[in-house]
Amino acid sequence: MRVRVLISLLALAYAAALSCNKDGDFDLRPGGSGSSQVVPRTDIPEDTFDKVFLMVSGGYNDLYSYISEDQKDMRNGYLPGCRPEDKDVFVLLSRVQWAKVTVPVLYRMSRLEDGSVRCDTLHRWVNADRLFSADVIHDALQMVRNRFPAKSYGMAVSSHATGWMPVKFYYYNRPPSEPAAVPGRRSIGQDGDGATATELDMQEFIGAIPYKLDYLLLDCCLCGGVEVAWGLRGKADLVGFSQTEILADGFDYKKIGQRLLGGSAPDARAVCEDYFAQYDNPNGSATISLVDTREMEDLADVCTTLFAKYRTALDNLDGSEDWDSQKVQGYFRFERHYFYDLEDILLKVGITEEEHAQLTAALNRCVLYKAHTEWFMRSSLYGFPIKIHSGFSMYLPSMGTEYLNNYYKENIAWNQATHLVQ
């Protein structure tokens, strides 16, 4: 999976289908037109652009074939032009898994008047062996703003992730310093495979964003937590993400360019709706929500009061995996009890009707869109029904560990605001 559900990898030569030709595109082979570190251009206007969309495409891992297909879909979908009068910009940050060219590359993708695609190399990190590092993410965003001063900036990220959790904990199912049979994976993003894979801590990722984005879309597993959204306040006004894992096909990349650059304003909600539409069928598996991080203060205030009042019940709440009973709605599989529905946690500790009304009002203020299928992975091991969906997952301390509780207290801003873990 991006559960992503991994079926097979295409041959590495598939990347040739994504490389560019003589119409101004770049060639990633050593000695190609992308071999210099920076390719300056003189035909990019100096005045302000309208909308800039940065796609961070993290496929240097076992998602390579899927993310390569995503890139192909984006090439075949809507792309803005690159004439002086064209005011919208699509920029792709990717680490290409082909031959020995594995450095991160930043390039602008445009549609020429004859319908062909032009890719202009903006930067190659010649000494970097990771796409998902705080330095690369930060520098890419700074370069985009410096090169394309604009009225609106947004970003989407596609790779592996495990939400707010510390790096490598999820697949070890214990602190990575302890012995484990299963190689660690990711917090957000992944470079490489197996035990040597590296990933970026979600808190570092958030800290690497140097200016406020209008939207941030996370095509990554398990990122749809209140912890992630609260941490992104001041970094992204709108955040689209999934509470569960995301199937390997991810977002609808045929339409994403049109949704974010083809209209008068970016339509992040439509991207979320397009994602859900792909899985809205009896066998589909998906959760998605779009939240306004500027409207989360009421939710934090309500939760702070309820966490304090129902402290004992929270500390003893049973969130074990008995989906047929009235246990708490979870969004996890494989006995990794770290993601539960925020609203259902509070319902199960016994909040009153009046308190539930206050919670509902606070959720409605910040959750702009939410959708879920009836089941997640119905026919698979540890599949589960989705009976309630608030638009946020949240950690449940009674089902966590001492290590996670300490990490949560020390590192998660949502906890510092609401004192879920004491």
Query: Which pLDDT tens digits describe the chain residue by residue (422 residues)?
Result: 566 544 333 332 333 333 332 223 333 322 233 333 333 444 545 458 999 999 999 988 889 889 999 999 999 999 999 999 999 999 999 986 544 457 899 999 999 999 999 999 999 998 888 999 999 999 999 999 999 999 999 999 999 999 999 887 886 666 666 544 333 445 899 888 777 788 899 999 999 999 999 999 999 999 999 999 999 999 999 999 999 999 999 999 999 999 999 999 999 999 999 999 999 999 999 999 999 999 999 999 999 999 999 999 999 999 987 655 668 999 999 888 999 999 999 999 999 999 999 999 999 999 999 999 999 999 888 899 999 999 999 999 999 999 999 999 999 999 999 999 99
H/E element, 69 = helix 64-76
> What DSSP line would sit under 90-135, residue for residue?
EEEEEE--BTTB-SEEEEEEEE-TTS-EEEEEEEE-TT---SSSHH
CA distance 158 to 50: 24
CA distance 253 to 250: 8
- pTM reported for the whole predicted model: 0.88
Strand order in the sheet with 287-292: 117-124, 104-111, 88-95, 49-57, 150-158, 213-219, 236-241, 287-292, 367-372
Instruction: Note whether 288 and 275 are within 8 A (CB).
Output: yes
**Strand 340-341 to strand 393-394: parallel, antiparallel, or no bridges (unpaired)?**
antiparallel
Instruction: Note whether 25 and 119 are within 8 A (CB).
Output: yes
Delimit the domains of the chain by residue range.
12-293, 295-369+379-418
Tokens encoding 262: 């083809």
Measured CA to CA in angstroms, residue 310 lies from 289, 305, 318 at distances of 27, 9, 14
Q: At what angle do helices 297-309 and 353-366 cross, to 10 degrees?
A: 150
H/E element, 338 = none
CA distance 330 to 53: 33
CA distance 321 to 336: 10
Q: What residues are paired with 225 via a beta bridge? A: 393
* DSSP SS3 for 204: helix
Q: What residues are paired with 336 via a beta bridge? A: none
H-helix segments, 10-63: none
Q: How many residues are given for the chain?
A: 422
Domain topology for 12-293: Rossmann fold (3.40.50)
Other C-beta atoms closer than 10 Å to the C-beta of 181 total 5
In terms of Cβ atoms closer than 10 Å to its own Cβ (0-12, 13-18, 19+), residue 275 is buried
Q: How far is CA 250 from the centre of its chain?
A: 10
